[in-house]
Structure 1
């Protein structure tokens, strides 16, 4: 075998082995590519880094929530953990398809609008026609600025020079759909809180039930804000603007962190105070994003047809099927932990929140497979050594701390696996391989659910984390297999 362009190929056939694409340009020498910050890499970083921070801001805020609630007691910590798992399961069924489809549609419509306006602008500037007053104003303004006469004339209207709001029907569609889904989610969770929690393993005689119902019902009041804010984040990402969602998310989460101890301990509201603080923060995020969005986009479409409900539903089905499979595994794991009692559930909640926060950090920052693995290894080392000491920030209960110490190796060990799973997910999504992503995830979920049921019943808390490790390993392997074998949209790797 010989080397060609950083990849491997057979000298007789000159056909590359698709599997070797993962090792292409991965060297750290003079010709390194993975960590090279060229023009393209810098552009990706400008978009990816704020998106990664926004993505991890909410899990970090949830970690702080968990730390505050843990000071009340293990029962309350366990109850809130079950409620959050249930709330997230229902939310993410709508969130991921809505945000992903919105981003895609907005980017498409914005690009079409921009391209269609270019020929008209060029033609009007080249012809010098008197029919285009806007072009004349722009030229006149340039001349006046150069000659220093700008301040002496009132012939140009400042308002006419401001950028016009964009007409993006998908933005209006996303907001309407988000508001409807948010209201339906709130009604669903509030009206069925008790039976849903019973289904999650919180039995009627469990001490977790009263605080769990209280937290879930109050938290559900923020569902419309959650769906609306994430729909608007999808719009901004379609504009390649990841900074605005970052600023809004940081402002909201900072408010949540500030209000938590005030409502929980000063006003003595306990878990209700934590839920109220979270709801306020979500409505603040939505308000900030909406205020900025109405400055950029005309949110009043001329007709109902422009709302494109059918297009959203058609394109979101595969994503919906996939996200149900993804979230159900984690929700089932929380349910299995809840059935073990308040102490295992409290420990599981701490480990899970750390697991999610660090995994999402790797997800947001990993722009290449090799880089994703390196980030995962770094996070693995940090958690392996640091989480044992950090666990005391979440609870003082000795039994809970003991179970957390059992979960730490799994939380740390799975970080490189999680990072690679997210990288492969993103790469396959970028290739529009939605069908494979959906059906492979359903197969992975089916196997993982069987593992969860069997291992949790025989090995309890440890069994749950073994099953989650299997789940993420299968998820990474599914993405790896598609690219590594050169099938589907990756068939060009064989040539």
Structure 2
């Protein structure tokens, strides 16, 4: 239902404080996730270009296997924060527990699917005979950590919905430090090569999941929320997340198509593309910190019936997104000479990487708008629209990417196609935000 605003007007400065209080810790936690892949890339990259290329293909598949279920975090954040806004903490945590149980079930199913099909999945990307064995090794081992990764997503959503982004920061920092240390020790100390990198990541992810469960279970007991699996609640979580699953599958399809095209351009191109994807993910998660704050704040405002507050904080977050995108783009340009040598010493990889980095830098202000509005609509529970908008984006991007080998320009042209994809997303999200149809109030949507 729709209600009039019930709370006092909040000033832009108060919105800034509220956004920063959630976004700054969320930034640290979000940055830690792509840093896992970046650390793996930096360590494995010095083993050789085939190993790095194999990691690139496997990481794209692994990230897809996990990220398609990102609704476990996003939908949970929206649902929990609405109940927080309505003043029902017990129901908020119970909602989160249902999401965690769903994460465990989905994780087990994904592992059962990935392990036997790993060689076929790697072959879909057109990896060369030299690269494929490394990709299969990394994918099979890392898949064992998928249930833990999904639990981390769901538990993170619970805490964000409770307006707590500090605990995820602490867990993420600990997980990144453990991952880096384990990777160095297992890859070089134990001489396990790319397999050591995969095992290090699995161990670190399991440790993070255990830490989150301790925190969430403690909160559930404090508010007398049941820890037992509830079939109806789990089904409700799955139903609420279905549109976001479609949205995320479409986005992952974009990234997989881009990786497949890069693989067919050559080993140097796919290696450089992996480095670019690692950087792009880092920048995206940094911008998404504002969106995470938006999910929690928007959900709470709408749960309390405050539509004016929701609209005001949306406008302010868009301003933050544009400004942050400009700053990040300038940093990419300024840090190019320092960034590239961390990942490769191969001149062929450097040659295709450097011009594409400029395209990534130029696209950051657009990315800032996209990620912020994406977060706002997720916080409002507007999943069906997000699903439709992303399907439109995929329909535009696919032919543009597939034409890259035909029109020429190599990896740089491919990343111009990625920029086109972000522009389409920006237009569709702005149209929805201006319509006001996402402003639905109440403890549930």
Question: Alignment partner of 2:403: what SS?
Answer: helix
Q: Which residue, 221, 224, 240 being the options, matches 2:144?
A: 221
Q: How far is 1:431 from its partner?
A: 4.1
Task: Assess if the C-alpha contact under 8 Å between 1:388 and 1:405 holds in 2.
Answer: no
Q: How far is 1:328 from its partner?
A: 1.0
Counterpart of 1:37? 13
Question: Alignment partner of 1:368: what SS?
Answer: helix
1:260 and 2:183 equivalent?
yes
1:168 and 2:93 equivalent?
yes
Q: Which residue, 238, 253, 266 being the options, matches 1:313?
A: 238
Superposed, 1:2-401 pairs within 5 Å as 37-38=13-14, 40-94=15-69, 96-110=70-84, 114=88, 168-203=93-128, 206-298=129-221, 301=226, 305=230, 307-365=232-290, 368-401=317-350
Query: Deviation digits for residues 312-345 of structure 1, max 9, x if unmatched?
Result: 1221111111111111101111111112232111
* Cα separation, 2, equivalents of 1:300 and 1:490: 29
Q: 5+ residue gaps in structure 1?
A: 1-32, 116-164
Query: Deviation digits for residues 18-61 of structure 1, max 9, x if unmatched?
Result: xxxxxxxxxxxxxxx7xx533x4323321222112111111123
Task: Assess if the C-alpha contact under 8 Å between 1:388 and 1:408 holds in 2.
Answer: no
Inter-CA distance 390–305: structure 2 relative to 1 (3 Å threshold) = closer
Q: Which residue, 351, 356, 370 being the options, matches 1:402?
A: 351
Q: How far is 1:433 from its partner?
A: 3.2
* Cα separation, 1, equivalents of 2:439 and 2:175: 41
* Cα separation, 2, equivalents of 1:69 and 1:208: 13
Task: Assess if the C-alpha contact under 8 Å between 1:456 and 1:462 holds in 2.
Answer: no
* Cα separation, 1, equivalents of 2:100 and 2:370: 30
Q: How far is 1:434 from its partner?
A: 2.7
* Cα separation, 2, equivalents of 1:183 and 1:318: 22
* Cα separation, 2, equivalents of 1:470 and 1:329: 12
Inter-CA distance 488–104: structure 2 relative to 1 (3 Å threshold) = closer
Task: Assess if the C-alpha contact under 8 Å between 2:78 and 2:378 holds in 1.
Answer: no
- With normalisation by structure 2, the TM-score equals 0.85
Q: How far is 1:107 from its partner?
A: 3.2
Inter-CA distance 456–360: structure 2 relative to 1 (3 Å threshold) = farther
Task: Assess if the C-alpha contact under 8 Å between 1:102 and 1:170 holds in 2.
Answer: yes
Task: Assess if the C-alpha contact under 8 Å between 2:287 and 2:324 holds in 1.
Answer: yes
- With normalisation by structure 1, the TM-score equals 0.77
Q: How far is 1:438 from its partner?
A: 1.5
* Cα separation, 2, equivalents of 1:337 and 1:303: 46
Question: Alignment partner of 1:258: what SS?
Answer: helix
Inter-CA distance 443–344: structure 2 relative to 1 (3 Å threshold) = same
* Cα separation, 1, equivalents of 2:159 and 2:380: 21
What's the C-alpha RMSD, in Å, of the aligned pairs? 2.3
Q: 5+ residue gaps in structure 2?
A: 1-10, 292-315, 441-445
Inter-CA distance 456–329: structure 2 relative to 1 (3 Å threshold) = farther
Q: Which residue, 398, 414, 424 being the options, matches 2:363?
A: 414
Question: Alignment partner of 2:287: what SS?
Answer: helix
Count of equivalent residues: 403
Q: How far is 1:169 from its partner?
A: 2.7
* Cα separation, 2, equivalents of 1:105 and 1:370: 26
Task: Assess if the C-alpha contact under 8 Å between 1:62 and 1:353 holds in 2.
Answer: yes
Counterpart of 1:439? 388
* Cα separation, 2, equivalents of 1:470 and 1:251: 37
* Cα separation, 2, equivalents of 1:295 and 1:337: 46
Q: Which residue, 466, 469, 477 being the options, matches 2:427?
A: 477
Question: Alignment partner of 1:308: what SS?
Answer: helix
* Cα separation, 1, equivalents of 2:130 and 2:374: 39
Task: Assess if the C-alpha contact under 8 Å between 2:74 and 2:379 holds in 1.
Answer: no
Structure of greater relative contact order (alpha carbons < 8 Å, 6+ residues apart): 2
Task: Assess if the C-alpha contact under 8 Å between 2:77 and 2:379 holds in 1.
Answer: no
* Cα separation, 1, equivalents of 2:116 and 2:54: 18
Question: Alignment partner of 1:296: what SS?
Answer: helix
Q: How far is 1:456 from its partner?
A: 3.6
Give the stretch that moved more between structures: 456-465 or 219-228.
456-465
* Cα separation, 2, equivalents of 1:187 and 1:300: 31
Inter-CA distance 458–236: structure 2 relative to 1 (3 Å threshold) = same
